[in-house]
Amino acid sequence: MANTTPAQQGYSLPAEWEPHEATWISWPKPSGSSFPGTYEKVIPTFVRMVKALAESELVRINVDDAKEEARVKALLKDVAPERVEFFRVPTNEPWCRDHGPIFLTRKEKPRLAAVDFIFNAWGFKLTPFDDDNDAAARIAKAVNVPLIDGGQFVFEGGSIDGNGDGTIVTTESCLLNPNRNPKLSRDAIEKKLRDFLGVRQILWLGDGIAGDDTDGHVDDITRFVSRDTVVTVMEEDEGDANYEPLQRNFQRLCEMQLTDGSPLRVLKLPMPSAMRRNGQRLPASYANFYIANKVVLLPTYQDTGDVWAESVLKEAFPGRKIVPIDCRELIWGLGAFHCLTQQQPAVG
């Protein structure tokens, strides 16, 4: 089986709303680049995130060493200790969606596998990133999950979102960016996705949102909430930089079909008002929510759109509790809850 692809072995990408064994996160470092000058201010958001997730499933936290583990345990003193597990997986930055493994499932044993792609810090935007690039393999080894080598394909988990039925959505601005896989054509990239993720259909959107240093990850704009339904963010201010790109993406979505020929159902999410810090546009988005077993973590920004976004997700996930958490400090790191998390599917 060594020379066969994951797809040929029967593996495929499950939907995020399917049952999880655990959620993985990587604890941020004071020395990291993600929260310059505001590290202490962002830690309460991480604590609230872990507390909400622990009510839903196991939380597996990557730390560098025993000293960091003790420090994080003290911060999580109000979280049931049996709901949190620590792993000595050093990382440079906390964005586990992108440096963590992509977990795949299949019907035959072993039912779970992890794919390890190349991580190059979103086109060499931050250094160092050597620990982040090694994290996927270390996570898989830590929980004894078979590891699939993704070769030299540069890829981040936040660049796609799937419906668990063979379809993913992505953006041209990210996956076709020459700072990722410059020698691969669009067709070659699609083949990699089909082979390694076990998907049959790739739906392409255009650009991401302003301020997103990932070159337009789709998890900031459009997310599957069921097999045939996506939510997508829309900007109402015609003078905002996001207005036209999001309008174009919306039009594409309205014309898309699923593998069975049925139309894609599209629900609208608002965008919060433009946020800036130190003159920099921040990629604040309600689309960067995370779907856990019992809860959905919703980033909020003390904005009039907060309640609207919560109501849309309540409709989309009637069986889950929507947990709004203020992300005005977190977004200074240019990401929110989906960027910070990586689900490990439950396989029985």
Torsions phi, psi of 167, nearest 5?
Answer: -120, 135
In angstroms, the Cα distances linking 230 to 54, 224, 274, 341 are 26, 4, 23, 20
The C-alpha atoms of residue 164 and residue 226 are separated, in whole angstroms, by 9
* Beta-ladder partners of 153: none
Determine the pLDDT at residue 3. Answer: 74
Average pLDDT, the chain: 97
Q: In whole angstroms, what is the distance from residue 165 CA to residue 197 CA?
A: 11
Handedness of CA 122, 245, 170, 342 (dihedral sign): positive
Question: 171: which strand partners?
Answer: 205
164-189: b (≥16 Cβ within 10 Å) or e: bbbbbbbbebbbbbeebbeebeeeeb
pLDDT tens column, 3-50: 799 999 999 999 999 999 999 999 999 999 999 999 999 999 999 999
Tokens representing 135 are 């994290």
Residues 202-217: pLDDT tens digits? 999 999 999 999 999 9
What pLDDT, on a 0 to 100 scale, did the predictor assign at position 52?
Answer: 98
Catalytic site positions: 339
pLDDT tens sequence across 166-195: 999 999 999 999 999 999 999 999 999 999
- State residue 157's pLDDT score: 98
Residue 226 has pLDDT above 80, yes or no: yes
Average pLDDT over residues 61-78: 98
pLDDT score at 2: 56
Residue ranges and CATH numbers for the domains of the chain are 20-345 (3.75.10.10)
Residue 348 predicted with pLDDT over 90: no
Percent of the chain at pLDDT > 90 equals: 99
Question: pLDDT tens digits, residue range 305-325?
Answer: 999 999 999 999 999 999 999
CA-nearest of 304, 301, 303, 277 to 289 is 301
pLDDT at 294: 98
Question: What confidence tier does 51 reach under pLDDT thresholds 50, 70, 90?
Answer: very high
> For 107-163, how does the pLDDT look when each residue is reduced to its tens digit (9 = 90+)?
999 999 999 999 999 999 999 999 999 999 999 999 999 999 999 999 999 999 999
The answer, yes or no, to whether residue 1 has pLDDT greater than 70, is no
